[in-house]
Amino acid sequence: MDAILVLEDGRSFTGRSFGAPGERQGEVVFNTGMTGYQEVLTDPSYSGQLVVMTAPHIGNTGVNDFDPESFKPQVAGFIVRAYSEGYSSWRARSSFSQILREHNIVAITDVDTRALTRHIRSAGAMRGIVSTVDLDVARLTAKARAASPMEGLDLTRLVTCDEAYHWAEGSGEFTPRDWSSESGVTVAAPARFHVVAYDFGLKRTILRRLVDQGCKVTVVPGTTSAEETLAMQPDGVFYSNGPGDPAATVYAFETLKQLLGRVPVFGICLGHQLMGLAVGGRTFKLPFGHHGINHPVRHLPSGRVEITSQNHGFAVDPDSLPADVEITHINLNDQTVEGLRCRNLPAFSVQYHPEAGPGPHDATYLFDEFTRLMQEARR
């Protein structure tokens, strides 16, 4: 034993370090995905969190240059049951532990993640600390309790871009011949629409899906004003995913209030929560959040069930929404709001990640809906 995880309630889990040495604190959450650990590692929505993977074997496909959702790992720390240093994949360029050490991410293996997940499921997500330099449970418990809770934290400023930029890469096909190309992705056909995408922790796959739809994408920092955005004359505005408490990101939903009704808007994850706040609703903290690639969601207008990818710890309060806002999707595990649309404005949002396609591509129609709204706005 040379590493330990300690929760704020004093519960501890020992293990072995396989990342960088050090000590990191954050909110401890579990992810139920059977795969996709590199996407999880690099998803900015996990900023400030210690992620527990419920799948027992992690690392056996290494890491590659195609799957990162941002330019670097974003998690506060990583916790697994059994790490595999050996890996096998034609796309892999290094082991998982190597990228963790390169980016100073503390990680721990040989943890009883089943017991840990069951504890979080019962007690709720809580603050914790992973350490390879201090193994004293009492001291670490005190440090965990002194850490800032997720409620009230605006973490989007830590992960947003510094300045605006253009994105032009589409999804492409991940075949062996892409390995020798410069990026492994394709450039889409000429753009039909101009979309301004607010970066609150934006995932690259979302940008690729927008380009696939024939969009010229301008990514802007999360603090960009409505006036600056409208001056770019966009056909539509996209509000991205991101970390932290949506209610603390006041500037973001106040800007959205000014954009609604003036340009079509599509929001995902944090963008969905900000939409709920912008139309007059409230958000609340979930007990342990939704993190994984196998969450069932019902599309209420059609009755269709979608298998979705999710990563969020807050939700929109359905009782707080005004009458001119329609709930379009619900989570079948706990009945929380997963989608909404404005009845009288070209604006809608979903809590889950339709770009991810965790096996099926059940939710890609939402990008078609966004382009439809932009086309109608031109008439």
Instruction: Kindly report the CATH number assigned to the domain that includes residue 271.
Output: 3.40.50.880
Segment 227-241 mean pLDDT: 98
Provide the token pair at 315: 């939700």
CATH label of the domain that carries residue 48? 3.50.30.20
Q: How confident is the model at residue 173 (pLDDT cuts 50, 70, 90)?
A: low
Whether residue 62 is contained in a domain is answered as: yes
* The domain boundary residue, chosen from 146, 164, 187: 146
162 with 142, same domain? no
Whether residue 244 is contained in a domain is answered as: yes
* The domain boundary residue, chosen from 146, 174, 193: 146
User: What are the backbone angles phi and psi of residue 176, rounded to the nearest 5°?
Assistant: -55, -30
Which domain range does residue 203 map to? 156-377
260 with 136, same domain? no
Q: Where are the alpha helices (DSSP H) in 57-193?
A: 96-102, 113-123, 137-146, 156-159
Contact 327, 299 (CB under 8 A): no
Q: Does residue 228 have an active-site annotation?
A: no
Whether residue 151 is contained in a domain is answered as: no
**What does the pLDDT read at residue 359?**
59
73 with 174, same domain? no
127 with 104, same domain? yes
Whether residue 249 is contained in a domain is answered as: yes
133 with 163, same domain? no
* The domain boundary residue, chosen from 146, 173, 189: 146
133 with 203, same domain? no
Q: Kindly report the pTM of this predicted structure.
A: 0.94
Alpha-carbon distances, residue 375 vs 49, 200, 208, 215 (angstroms): 39, 26, 20, 12
Q: Is residue 88 over pLDDT 70?
A: yes
294 with 190, same domain? yes
Whether residue 168 is contained in a domain is answered as: yes
Q: Is residue 179 over pLDDT 50?
A: no
Among the ranges given (165-174, 217-226, 231-240, 349-358), the one the predictor scored with the smallest mean pLDDT:
165-174
Q: Does residue 353 have an active-site annotation?
A: yes
Q: Which of 299, 312, 329, 353 is catalytic?
A: 353
**What does the pLDDT read at residue 188?**
57
Q: Which of 39, 269, 312, 329 is catalytic?
A: 269
Q: How confident is the model at residue 191 (pLDDT cuts 50, 70, 90)?
A: confident
Alpha-carbon distances, residue 96 vs 61, 93, 113, 271 (angstroms): 8, 10, 18, 30
Segment 320-347 mean pLDDT: 98
Q: Is residue 183 over pLDDT 80?
A: no
Domains of the chain: total: 2
Q: Which of 27, 39, 306, 355 is catalytic?
A: 355
**What does the pLDDT read at residue 43?**
97
340 with 234, same domain? yes
101 with 227, same domain? no
**What does the pLDDT read at residue 181?**
41
Q: Does residue 182 have an active-site annotation?
A: no
